[in-house]
Amino acid sequence: MEYRRLGSSGLKVSQLSFGSWVTFGNQMDLKKAKECIQYSFEQGINFFDNAEVYAKGASEELMGQAFRELGIPRHHYIISTKFFWGIEDVVNFRNTLNRKYLMHAMHESLKRWKMDLIDLIYCHRPDPETPIEEIVQTMHEIIQRGDALYWGTSEWSAKQIAEAYDFAVSNGFHRPVMEQPQYNLIHHHKVDQEFTPLYKKMGLGLTTWSPLASGILTGKYLNTIPENSRLALKSMTWLQEELHQPSIQKAVKELHQISESSHIPMSQLAIGWCTLNPQVSTVILGASRIEQLKENLKTLEILNSIRDLRKELSQIADLNATA
């Protein structure tokens, strides 16, 4: 496992990491979560991604309990959480980054994790109704208080990130260090185009999500939607629209062809392509069972073969150049 700097910070994250969206507290119970965390950790993964909204807080509780029961020393791993959507139907606590919400959300999250601090905290989406000054100052204060170590954004535009960074720098506040965008062979415009000036300006780090586009890039949906898969879940039917887009179907079919001729599973080609981008600090993997995690982690063993196919893979990415 290679460890990469999280942007311009001094923190190093494993090039592959493990996240809990849809899985922890839904498809996975404590036993399965522990099995996956243990395996990830043994393979060198040191970053585990989470969010307040995942399973409405249950994902944080489960991950916290799993780490405690596994007895892994707290300073050996990095965890994250993210705030924006909120989990209580109360005015000021939904779809926001206002100070009242952020302070409360941080406090409640620590209680769920049963931990003293969260390493990375993210503003999960931009909030056009809260001034950037209020957001940056609140993130700064959370870090000053020792509740978190680094802060960043998720799915913000380059302009919004630059504004936050400039305000932090000019006021001596903790700067945003990392962004968490979707990045895969289908969705890559932000990482490959929009954020380019930010890599130089602020050394932006990237913790990227959905390397398999929720499983679409494994080829498992080529003929049908398997019963026990993410796209069959009631809450995830919106993803079926994506699946049926002609340019996405074409990309999946072409990836399938490269997989057939190279004898490398589609999942590993897709994950490998993300990992080979040096701007990416870590590619966050998802898995609903340990067998998937094992297959996905094998990507690292054949990264050089995937490097040789990079040109062909980037041509697939070009089919959805603006996504």
Closer of 32 and 220 to ligand NDP (Cβ)? 220
Contact by Cβ (8 Å): 120, 151? yes
Q: Find residue 97's DSSP bridge partners.
A: none
The only residue of 177, 213, 280, 309 in contact with ligand NDP, by rule CB under 6 A? 213
CA-based diameter of the chain, in Å?
55
Q: Is 40 in the site for ligand NDP (CB under 6 A)?
A: no
Of the ranges 14-22, 165-173, 195-203, 251-259, which one interacts with ligand NDP (CB under 6 A)?
14-22
Q: Taking Cα atoms as reference points, which of 127, 72, 78 lies closest to residue 105?
A: 127
Report d(CA 129, CA 151) in Å as an integer. Answer: 20
* Binders in 246-305 for ligand NDP, by CB under 6 A: 267, 284-288, 292, 295-296
Q: Is 35 in the site for ligand NDP (CB under 6 A)?
A: no
Single out the catalytic residue among 3, 39, 54, 122: 54
* Binders in 92-151 for ligand NDP, by CB under 6 A: none
Closer of 22 and 323 to ligand NDP (Cβ)? 22
The only residue of 209, 255, 272, 282 in contact with ligand NDP, by rule CB under 6 A? 209
Single-letter code of the amino acid located at 101: Y
Q: Would you say the C-alpha torsion 60, 64, 67, 72 has a positive or negative sign?
A: positive
Per the annotation, the verdict on 150 as an active-site residue is no
Contact by Cβ (8 Å): 53, 87? yes
Q: Is 46 in the site for ligand NDP (CB under 6 A)?
A: no
Q: Is 14 in the site for ligand NDP (CB under 6 A)?
A: no
Cα–Cα separations (whole angstroms), residue 183 to 44, 107, 188, 198, 283: 22, 30, 5, 16, 9
The only residue of 4, 34, 47, 49 in contact with ligand NDP, by rule CB under 6 A? 49
Give Cβ neighbours of residue 73 (< 8 Å, ≥ 6 apart): none
Residues that bind ligand NDP (CB under 6 A): 19-23, 49, 154-155, 180, 209-215, 218, 220, 229-230, 267, 284-288, 292, 295-296
Report the catalytic residues: 54
